[in-house]
Amino acid sequence: MRKKIVAGNWKMNTTLQEGVGLAKDVNEALKHAEVECDVVICVPFTHLAPVNEVIDSKLGLGAENCADHKSGAYTGEVSASMAASTGATYVILGHSERRQYYGETAETLKEKVALALDNNLTPIFCIGEVLEQRENGSYLDVVKSQIEDALFGLSAAEFSKLVLAYEPVWAIGTGKTATDDQAQEMHAHIRSVIAGKYGKEIADNTSILYGGSCKPSNARALFAKPDVDGGLIGGASLDAESFMGIVTAF
């Protein structure tokens, strides 16, 4: 049975001191909550090791990215092995902001996924369409291509280690949210694409998270959909109470 997961993506927010405090707040809240999903916080590179020191095993830790090289003369980059050495066990890859602002391509992401898996990091691999693609009706094909181009070189055993996250890019930070039916349509489509390549069993066991302006007010309806297995949470993950409101929506 596939995992239910709520993962926070802090993006480029919080100082180290603020981040450690937020992690402590989430960790403490988890001790007193009825939780029916895995909970992960993905934090800036500077925060990984200090945050790992203040959380316990109920709270997973992830990086927000990793380099597409194993090591070497790449000033400012952080490798998958470096991220893993801090105690991180997850890494977000292919986020729409990385694609948009830093030109990440399918070829780049193939390398990142391979290096993450080599270092026992679980990739949370992001896919999703922009507003123009949603409105011109190409969104299903766009997402299918994003999966095929970056991930279909993996073996079935490798693919089974991934978590996917659907981002309706047009809903991130805009206040718009895909309806729960729109989310379900895309998540079911993603699962069918996986099944076409790797078979129904792997497709049925792949966790697919929703990553578009998920809040405590809409999380329950989204998570009730049969193919929505949780959320990749941006802004709401920066407040422990809001984040826990989503975690407890299962």
As a whole number of angstroms, the distance between CA 181 and CA 58 comes to 31
Tell me what pLDDT residue 66 has: 98
Residue 50 pLDDT > 80: yes
Residue tagged active-site, from 95, 97, 104, 129: 95
Is the pLDDT at 216 greater than 90? The verdict is: yes
CA distance 43 to 88: 10
User: Which residues are within 8 A (CB) of 141 and not within 5 positions of it... i.e. 6 or more apart?
Assistant: none
Q: What is the mean pLDDT of residues 34-47?
A: 97
Q: What is the pLDDT of residue 175?
A: 66
Nearest to 62 by CA among 29, 32, 23, 106: 23
Check if 95 is active-site: yes
Residues 208, 159 contacting (CB under 8 angstroms): no
Backbone angles phi, psi at 167, to 5 degrees: -110, 110
Q: Which residues contact 9 (CB under 8 A, 6 or more apart)?
A: 42, 64, 92, 95, 211, 232, 233, 234, 237
Element (H, E) at 18: helix 16-31
Q: Which two tokens stand for residue 180?
A: 């729960």
Q: Which pLDDT score is estimated for 220?
A: 96
18-39 pLDDT, tens digit per residue, is 999 999 999 999 999 999 999 9
Strand intervals (E) in 104-186: 122-127, 163-166
Kindly report the pTM of this predicted structure.
0.97
Q: What are the beta bridge partners of residue 59?
A: 39
Average pLDDT of 133-152? Answer: 97
- Measured in residues, the chain has a length of 250
**∠154-156-157 over CA atoms, to 5°?**
100
H-type alpha helices, 68-118: 80-85, 96-102, 106-118
pLDDT 10s digits, 146-178: 999 999 999 999 999 999 999 999 887 676 768
Question: Which amino acid, residue 32?
Answer: H
- Look over the chain and give the mean of its residue pLDDT values, rounded to a whole number: 96
Given the residues 64, 97, 104, 167, the one annotated as active site: 167
Count CA atoms within 13 Å of residue 117 on its CB side: 18
- The whole-number pLDDT of residue 212 equals 85
Decide if 32 is catalytic: no
Q: What is the pLDDT of residues 57-101, one digit of tens each?
A: 999 999 999 999 999 999 999 999 999 999 999 999 999 999 999
Q: How many CA atoms lie within 13 A of 30 on its CB side?
A: 21
